[in-house]
Chains A and B, each alone.
Chain A
Amino acid sequence: MTAMGATLVEKIIARAAGVDRVTPGDIVTCRVDLAMMHDSGGPRRVQPLLERLGRGIWDPERVVVISDHYVPAVDAESAAILDGTRKWVARHGVRHFHDMQGICHVVLPERGHLRPGMFVVGGDSHSPTGGAFGCFMFGIGATDMAGVLITGETWVTVPDTIRLDWDGALPAGVCAKDMMLHLCARLGMGGAAQQVVQYGGNTVDALPMQERMTLSNMAAELGAQCGLIEADETTVDYIRSAGGDPGDPVAWRGDDDAAVMARHRFDASTLAPQVAAPHSPANAGDVAVHEGTPVHQAYIGACTGAKLEDLRMAAAVLSGQRVAKGTRLLLAPASTRTTLAAAQDGTLATLIEAGAILMPSGCGACAGYGAGVLTEDEVCISSTARNFRGRMGAASSQVFLASPYTVAASAVTGRITDPRGFLEPGAGV
């Protein structure tokens, strides 16, 4: 039997496990390069377990804490959670603490913490986002995290890889979010429940880093452990400009002859803007199906849909337009650096002139933690990742998921609207 090559995830796990190679299904123990936590699932959940063992954390330099869920505090309870988070990092000597600077999945790479080939755990289900940087990053629960914090190790079952290859140029007004909603509809919420997905093809090669992050982020909606994308020049440039060290990205590519579990191919050039109806991202279809549905709220926010690229898409639609009477457009940029960059390049002015209401950088209404939640029967079109029942507020509220283009176009008309009519021919990202 000739030895087959290894996939990217197999190479990363083998390195972290200190072995030559691993095979899908193997269970191995790995050294963790970095552990990320946020205020909701982090210190307040792991500290009781650390106390039970009377232990501190294995390497404070390898821990990043980011407060984003309860920011800024809306009541005494959330204020106490944030206060506890600040005291915890001080007590454990965690220097990498980004307090109220934006959403963890966006802030982590923005501050240069990720490097291709790293083995990273995150205390949040959208941790697959780190895969956009060629890292194996996956979400774990509080018990698991406590174990990592104490020992610096964790076990994994080596996952199979499902390749999702996209070719062709995205039409104007169509973006990574549309690709992902389409994938949710095609593959289903459990489409990759025990695997990692790896995105490739010339469409993905051409995407800027933040668009790739949207693909990796919503790998969580396919149930995947991680949404990997091999590092290239785009990755290296991003990491360098974030002040990070890209390491040796060439070493962290899968072999061409590596065995994958499945390979699906998609044509980006024929993709229409997508909208996912309540209450699942898998309820996605062409925007035409839902066009005309009135919306009370349009929400541009979350790690999925409020990075600088996302804000620029919204601005491309909203330039010279006004939000419809009776509809509100809420804008919660994914990070403080996003807000700054959008202020510097004029994007923010365009959005605010159109009537967008600027909100703090944090999880906000995405999962019902912060400002902008919905009451009974309200309808929202949102650039977030999930629309499960009651996630953004009252149980009877309805959340439609769409791209920043489509959310912006819908804000202008007050109804779910195809954004392509608002864009100059060829004006897409």
Chain B
Amino acid sequence: MSSEQAPGRAWVFGDDVNTDLLAPGAYMKGPFEMLASHCLEAVDPMFAQQVQAGDMIVAGENFGIGSSREQAAQALKHLGVSAVLARSFGGIFFRNALNLGLVALTCPDSGRIRAGDRLAVDAAVGAVDNLSTGERYPCNRLPPKLLDMVRDGGLIAHLEKRQSNGKPDQDER
């Protein structure tokens, strides 16, 4: 099986996209679908309506800074976003994203990507292919164990799967 995931279209954002923009506090008490439908509306009112399954977020520095709310990553995943590529991430967002099954990769060249470019990400190799321009950018790699977890749909789903396969929780070392 190729480690590449299916190509997706790029949605491009700037620096410092915080968790309040991703999961606006005003909708935190309501149903989750409602919260997700307001994801990023303060910077792009059409995003939540128009984003399609497999699309990717491309951003600058500090993506996901702010509170530790898991809903920020959950909202993107719920909307079908397949990966987030940013120059840097808020540390807790980065953890939450992978634990919830959303690919997050540090990509120093994210600024070269334009809105609508078609991207293919290979998290095992650590590369992003821009199918629209033919360029290839390096990104960080995810080690196999973590990639398994993300592919299984996140930490809990991963543990569920291992359990039903009769595998131990911990690998030998």
Contact = CB atoms under 8 A, between A and B. Distances in A.
B68 A190 contact: no
B48 interface: no
A193 B90 contact: yes
Interface in B74-111: 88-92, 94-96, 98-100
B99 A144 contact: yes
B143 A27 contact: yes
Interface stretch (A89-97, A145-153, A353-361): A145-153
B91 A223 contact: yes
A193 B70 contact: no
Contact of B169 (A52, A140, A151, A225): A151
A363 B78 CA distance: 33
Interface residues of A, number: 32
Contacts of B169: 58, 150-153
A139 B99 contact: no
A120 B127 CA distance: 33
A189 B91 CA distance: 13
Contact of B170 (A55, A139, A152, A223): A152
Given A18-B173, A141-B68, A153-B169, A193 B159 contact: no
Nearest to A28: B143
Interface in B127-166: 140, 142-143, 145-146, 154-156, 159-160, 163
A141 B99 contact: yes
A143 B150 CA distance: 13
Given A142-B70, A144-B155, A190 B62 contact: yes
Contact of A155 (B67, B96, B146, B159): B146
A25 B69 CA distance: 23
Interface in B107-132: none
B19 to A, nearest CB: 11
A229 to B, nearest CB: 20
Nearest to A58: B169
Contacts of A150: 159, 169
Interface in A143-179: 143-144, 146-147, 150-153, 155, 157, 159
A27 B148 CA distance: 14
B119 to A, nearest CB: 22
A147 B145 contact: no
Contacts of B173: 18
A413 interface: no
Interface in A100-152: 125, 139-144, 146-147, 150-152
B99 A190 contact: no
Nearest to B65: A190
A28 B146 CA distance: 9
B16 interface: yes
A111 B62 CA distance: 37
Contact of B16 (A27, A28, A190, A194): A190
A151 B91 contact: no
A109 B96 CA distance: 27
B160 A52 contact: yes
B62 A139 contact: no
Most B CB contacts (10 A, CB to CB) among A28, A140, A190, A223 go to A190
A193 B170 contact: no
Interface in A217-241: 223, 225
A143 B94 contact: no
Given A194-B89, A194-B91, A223-B91, A147 B160 contact: no
Given A141-B99, A143-B156, A157-B94, 18 more contacts: A18-B173, A25-B140, A27-B142, A27-B146, A53-B160, A139-B92, A140-B92, A141-B68, A141-B69, A141-B92, A141-B95, A142-B70, A147-B99, A150-B159, A155-B145, A190-B16, A193-B65, A223-B65
10 contacts: A25-B140, A28-B143, A141-B92, A141-B95, A153-B170, A155-B98, A190-B90, A193-B88, A193-B89, A194-B91
